Structure 1
Amino acid sequence: MKRYWKPFFLSFLVLLVLFPFTYMVLLSLMSGWQFPDFLPSYFGFKNWATIMTSEGGLLQSFVISVIISLSVAIVTTISGFFISRVVYYHPKSKVLNVLAYFPYILAPVVFAACLSFFFIKLGLFGNVTGVVVAQFLIAFPYALIFFSSFWNQKMKSYADLTATLGGSRLQTYTKVLLPMAKSMLLVCFFQTFLISWFEYGLTSIIGIGKVQTLTIKVFLFIKEANYYYGALSCCLLIFPPVVLLYFNKRYVFKKMV
């Protein structure tokens, strides 16, 4: 009896998970759906066509979001990997690791408000560079915490063995440490990209409305009760995470297994 109901239960769970995404895609194709009409007055790609116009500005927001997230993910992953090694082998590594959690004690909006004075003085308020720096301050501690599990006595022994055999510091990284950390580097890149991609609090404060990322656009359309453009923005918002999830499953997890 349990085996008989199992396929139906699994199918129900799949439909339950896919329903919000399916409904969001359908809603992005609709317009003029008012009570008590059973069906919308229009169903097509008119809303998607506005991406290429200045009316919605979604294409520009999408490009800005991709540039910001890629910049944060690349810089955070590279710097986090090398600096985490210094932190791990530091005499006060435990204290430094605890300090890495400090940005997550405060809410992003409160953290941005605390940083706003310094960003104004440095001329980083209300521009893309400032948003990248602000998001870096959130993503970088995550990279330090993430790579802390990689640096251990085993990695130190590999580095010492390479040096004993005559390898330089550059060869230690390129021939030993980086190949062994390849999967973790990819995972950290994906994670920090998503942290930046879905960041709203810091971007809204530091960007002051001038840097309109895709996340900002979603909330603007929802506040305006423009559910059709809001659904369209959400479709664009979940597209990169879906692509990253595919590559994660296809290339990273298979190699780890």
Structure 2
Amino acid sequence: MVKVKNIALGIYIALIAFPFIYLLILSFSADWRFPELWPQYFGLRNWSRVISGETGLLSSFVLSLVISLSVATSATLTGFFISRYVNYHPKKRLWTLITYFPYVLAPVVFGACLSFYFIKVGLFGNTAGVILSQFIIAFPYALIFFSSYWGEQTREYENLVATLGGNPWTTYTKVLIPMAGPLMMICFFQTFLISWFEYGLTSIIGVGKVETLTIKVFLFIKEANFYYGAMSCCLLILPPALLIYFNKKYVFNKLI
């Protein structure tokens, strides 16, 4: 019975790992055609082109990092502070309902609706416009995420600090932010992933000029360049994998 469970677990792990292993093998390959079981070339040639900047993947990777870090940082910080006022507001239910509006429409449709206003203010087809458009969908997520934090217990802590003579600055820096530290890290990870994998809004607002890593993946797939597409996917998986590891090792252990 134990052997059967171990075999089943091994098959399960192999099925999960196979797509990632295959992508990694494909990224080192060239001239791999059916029905050949092994590519004619297997080496570092593709990755050397990435490092040299020939494929544009390295610049797209850095650009995606800048955009995602900007969106995650701004959405987490503003979401944390503004969520307090939303949850303590007399019309909390109304504001919470409005918060869900960006998720009613598909990202492509939502991007098409925003494009008119972005053209008017000069944010269409540039990096700043992409960051702002992604912030518009990441910020409501942060508001919803932090809504459970602002409960009666948190309010009691605020009242206690005020009773002891603390000002709002002391309340935030000494009590509220340290208490919410792990939650803020999780929200940062989540909003980072929202931005990192975003394609619809980026393709509409960026209008092909802002080539993030997700845009590169689809471009290579459309060109039937599977080897560069596999490299793009490997680079696309790397930051989320590191965030999951960091989240599990440092943040999740604090919460439990």
TM-score by shorter chain over 0.5: yes
Structure 1: which 5+ residue stretches go unaligned?
none
1:83-122 equivalences under 5 Å are 83-122=82-121
Bigger mean CA deviation after superposition, 30-39 or 68-77: 30-39
After superposition, give the CA deviation of every residue in 1:113-143 in whole Å (9 maximum; x if it has no partner).
0000000011000100000000000000000
Instruction: State how 1:110-149 maps to structure 2 within 5 Å.
Output: 110-149=109-148
CA distance in 2, matches of 1:41, 1:9: 34
Match of residue 72 from structure 2:
73
Deviation at 1:180, TM superposition (A): 0.7
SS in 2 for 1:126: coil
Q: 1:13 to 1:36 in 2, by over 3 A?
A: closer
* Residues in 2 aligned to 1:213 and 1:12: alpha-carbon distance in whole angstroms: 35
Alpha-carbon separation, structure 1, partners of 2:124 and 2:51: 28
In 2, distance between residues paired with 1:35 and 1:150? 55
- Cα pair distance change 1:54/1:4, threshold 3 Å: closer
1:214-252, CA deviations, whole angstroms, 9 ceiling, x for partnerless residues? 000000000110000000000000000000001000000
Q: Which residue of 1 aligns with 2:26?
A: 27
User: Following the alignment from structure 1 to structure 2, what is the Cα–Cα distance between the partners of residues 37 and 196?
Assistant: 38
Q: Partner of 2:135: helix, strand, or coil?
A: helix
Secondary structure at the residue paired with 1:189? helix
- State the secondary structure of the residue aligned to 1:187: helix
Deviation of the 1:25 alpha carbon: 0.1
Q: Which residue identity lines up with residue 173 of structure 1 in the other structure?
A: Y
C-alpha deviations, 1:153-209, integer Å up to 9, x for none? 110110011001000100000111011101100000000000000000000000001
Please give the root-mean-square deviation of Cα atoms over the aligned residues, in Å. 0.8
What are structure 2's unaligned runs of at least 5 residues?
none
- Whole-angstrom CA distance in 2 between matches of 1:66 and 1:230: 18
- C-alpha separation in 2, matches of 1:16 and 1:4: 18
Q: Does 2:171 correspond to 1:182?
A: no
Instruction: Please give the secondary structure, in 2, of the residue aligned with 1:130.
Output: helix
Q: Give me the whole-angstrom Cα distance separating, in 2, the residues matched to 1:44 and 1:177.
A: 52
Structure 1 partner of 2:232: 233
**Greater CA drift, 9-18 or 46-55:** 46-55
- Normalised by the length of structure 1, the TM-score is 0.98
